[in-house]
Amino acid sequence: MNGTPDISPQKRISYMENSEIERRTDNLRMAQQLLTGKITPEQFADQQTERELQLERLAFIDPLTGLLNRHGLSHAFDLKLQIAGREMRGGQVDGLKASYLMMDLDGLKQINDTHGHGTGDLVLLYLGQTIQNSLRPTDLAARIGGDEFVIILDGASCNEAVLVAERLRASLSEDEGLFIPNGINVTTSMGIVELPEGISSEQLRQPNFGDVLLHQLYIQADPLLYKAKSRGKNQIATLPIQ
């Protein structure tokens, strides 16, 4: 899709390596302060906890929109699967009903080219805030690429997810004038699929099952998103593709 590309795997590795170096440097500095009596053991423990929380946030959160990033979505979704596994009855997971909504911002490249990347970032921030304000605490929302977003609606069928998506599109058109420069209309195209039925306890025990399932949903939703784009954008497409 158009827009700023996601961080490459190599850059992610480099970023995490730098974060680890920074963490160790801070721990060494605080240890020196503890040994010289500049801070108390309690202050040392508090500072370590705060630093770990900051690094965890950087690892899981998209810094521009405040939504989960791709890694954060994988982690949160895996936790949902673990909870569902504990509530399992018989040989299948009970209560894992959900819909996967893949969303793409329409025309981000044109916005960047015409108004500058700063305005493009403002539009992405506005979209991220609108998504966050439209969801429940049990839903998951992530920015997984430059202008690509994913929402996992907990307990929602595809038809219910379409209603949520329509409300989200309506809220964008209602409020955008308060935040976005004149002449820019914020619209999105969306593809929606449901999680597969009959997930078994054996599947939950497989390593990286959450990542496999997320990839499967992405592969299903991506052509739907392109179908919505090809129909003129600012639309929602679901299975079966017409």
Q: What are phi and psi of 48, to 5 degrees?
A: -65, -45
Counts for the chain of helices (H) and strands (E), in that order: 8, 5
- What is the residue type of 166? E
CB neighbour burial string for 106-130, b if at least 16 within 10 angstroms, e if fewer: bbbeebbeebeeeebbbbbebbbeb
Distances, alpha carbon 63 to alpha carbons 121, 123, 192, in Å: 11, 14, 26
- Cα angle vertex 75, ends 229, 188, to 5°? 15
How far, in Å, CA of 235 to CA of 100, rounded? 16
Q: Please identify which of the residues 62, 78, 147, 175 carries the catalytic annotation.
A: 147
Only one residue has tokens 């979505």, namely 73
147 is catalytic: yes
What residues are labeled active site?
147
